[in-house]
Structure 1
Amino acid sequence: MTFTDEYKGNNAMVAHGNTKLHVIHTNDKKQNANTLAQYERHLSLQRHKIVGIDLEYDNDPEATQKPALCQLSIGKNHPALLFQMSDTERCIVFDNFLANPRYTFAGFSIDGDKTRLEHVKLEVANFVDIQKEWRVPEATKPLDSLEDVSGMLIDDNYNNMKKKITDDEHERWATLPLFRRHIEYASKDAYAAMAPVADTCVYAEGLELTNTEWRNMLGCVMIPNRGFRAPFLHRLTTADLQESGKLPSTIKFHAPSSGKLTLETEHKNGYGDIQADYHIDSEDCINITTGWKDFVSQNGFEAGEVAMVFFYKEEDSIKFTIFAL
């Protein structure tokens, strides 16, 4: 028997804070095809075509274990799709979507997922492992789970994802009906798989980044305690490298009208920091004056480079950390 359970509006799944996820849980091939068609229309307009993916398995022995549930997400503004593979016939539209090389499917520690997909003769064409591709440098502990990464980059709430369902519940993904706790866990897993990758693409909107710049950006974002997850991303112009530096009016940073700040960088010339003066002008823009030119010279910044800036405000100081990608 086919089914479609939809969770939206007041019944939507809470991902974290005020972020809610519209979720479709189905074994209906027609509903699955309709949702994937929505995905394809959205992805056709995106430069980085990122799909978050995760799998939950049935309770067979590991040697024959198969996917029970496939979770897909393309972001919080689109429904997360939970396709119940253990209780449906083969869906060619679904198979073709996974095999489409235009899309990047972001997962975490995907070796096990690849093996289970092979058991049902399925393959993801462009499967990227967040754990392997963007391993966090200088971490105090290995990030050995998706919860670790999501807790650092998205919200602390993700650190407790594993506690949302019991071990017994985790073994019944192929047994219907699934509890609401299962749906919440599965939808957050799919969203968390793509958010650290796809959300960083938003920072690059309006910029044509090379693959190297894009990967470097992800590496910088995933350094613990380096700032929040929405840095200012900007391609340096000749004007930016003059006597003073001015942040655009879109960057609102609450601070005294003038004072000193610390500029630090990790760049091709290594780590460096310098004290600089700043003032906030009539347009509410931060102008970095004395010290900016020395900072530019010291670090060898050049017009055309993409700079990613993290902002920090402490009780008595302001700090900008600048990465040149």
Structure 2
Amino acid sequence: MTVLYMNAASSVEEWITNAEASLDSSARKIVGLDVEYDKLSGTYFNPKKAGVIQLCVGTDVLVYHICHANERSEKLADFLHGYRYTFAGFCVAEDHTILSHSKYYVHNRKDIQAIWRDSDNKKRTQGMKDVAGAIIDPIDFEMKDGFGRREHRMWVDPPPLPPKSLEYVARDAYAMYEVFRRLDVFERGFFSLFKHPEKKRGRDW
């Protein structure tokens, strides 16, 4: 995994340009998207805004410390706003509300929580770590260990993010991309088999 951590709009736009080139050559145009913010702050007159935005395409992750950005990125706004790409997240409603407070809007979004759950997991509410642990690697069941309220109040602190926080957000974004990518592969495979059933044949030796 390659992680770029920035608060400069020009660097963010360079990352997006490279990501678009990669997406344009891919049949499945998927982007992992996550947003971090202080979940305990915010009022009606001073609503919560994004502290950190994470984007992931393949193994390339952008961690944008947007609350300390040097200027607004119109390229980011256009990237999120269009319908060319599918933005995959988890429990996305509040994330996208938070982004809208900063005048960034995501239209073509998919919520992993709404399309898949682990039938073997008896928890009433499953989180991203439960889904990633079941689909990607069991080690991901531990991906959020050691992160509590105190750590989640650090997103708006002056940069740089602590290494532990940077690793946390990068893994989160990658997990959202990779989980949705695999679900998409499974769905297309099942649909293809239903539409064009395989003929029985002997085993290849």
The verdict on a shared fold, with TM-score over 0.5 as the criterion, is yes
Say whether 1:66 aligns with 2:49.
yes
With over 3 angstroms needed to count, the CA separation of the structure-2 counterparts of 1:104 and 1:148, relative to structure 1, is same
Say whether 1:214 aligns with 2:197.
no
Distance of 1:35 and 1:155 partners within structure 2:
27
Corresponding residue SS for 2:161: coil
* Alpha-carbon contact 1:131-1:143 (below 8 Å) kept: no
Distance of 2:19 and 2:43 partners within structure 1:
32
Say whether 1:122 aligns with 2:104.
yes
1:172 deviates by 0.9
- What is the identity, as a one-letter code, of the residue corresponding to 2:180? V
1:49 deviates by 0.5
Q: Could you say which residue in structure 1 is the equivalent of 2:35?
A: 55
1:75 deviates by 1.7
Distance of 2:188 and 2:203 partners within structure 1:
24
What TM-score, normalized to structure 2?
0.86
Asked which structure has the greater CA Rg, the reply is: 1
Give unpaired runs (5+ residues) of structure 2: none
Corresponding residue SS for 2:51: strand
Q: Could you say which residue in structure 2 is the equivalent of 1:245?
A: 202
1:168 deviates by 1.1
- What is the identity, as a one-letter code, of the residue corresponding to 2:203? K
Give unpaired runs (5+ residues) of structure 1: 1-20, 205-212, 218-234, 248-280, 282-325
Distance of 1:25 and 1:122 partners within structure 2:
19
Q: Could you say which residue in structure 2 is the equivalent of 1:277?
A: none
Say whether 1:90 aligns with 2:90.
no
- What is the identity, as a one-letter code, of the residue corresponding to 1:245? G
- Choose the corresponding residue for 2:25, options 27, 31, 45: 45
* Higher percent of residues as helix: 2
Q: Could you say which residue in structure 1 is the equivalent of 2:12?
A: 32
Distance of 1:74 and 1:29 partners within structure 2:
18
Say whether 1:144 aligns with 2:130.
no
- What is the identity, as a one-letter code, of the residue corresponding to 1:125? H
Q: Could you say which residue in structure 1 is the equivalent of 2:62?
A: 81
* Alpha-carbon contact 2:117-2:126 (below 8 Å) kept: no
Say whether 1:178 aligns with 2:177.
no
What TM-score, normalized to structure 1?
0.56
Deviations 1:76-111 (A, max 9, x none): 2xx200111101121101111111201000000011
Distance of 1:106 and 1:62 partners within structure 2:
28
Q: Looking at both structures, which has the greater relative contact order when contacts are Cα pairs under 8 Å and sequence separation is at least 6? A: 2
The size of the alignment, in residue pairs, is 198
Corresponding residue SS for 1:118: helix
Corresponding residue SS for 2:140: helix
Distance of 2:133 and 2:181 partners within structure 1:
16
* Alpha-carbon contact 1:147-1:161 (below 8 Å) kept: yes
* Higher percent of residues as strand: 1
With over 3 angstroms needed to count, the CA separation of the structure-2 counterparts of 1:57 and 1:42, relative to structure 1, is same
Deviations 1:267-296 (A, max 9, x none): xxxxxxxxxxxxxx3xxxxxxxxxxxxxxx
With over 3 angstroms needed to count, the CA separation of the structure-2 counterparts of 1:214 and 1:137, relative to structure 1, is farther
Runs of 4+ in structure 1 off by over 6 angstroms are none
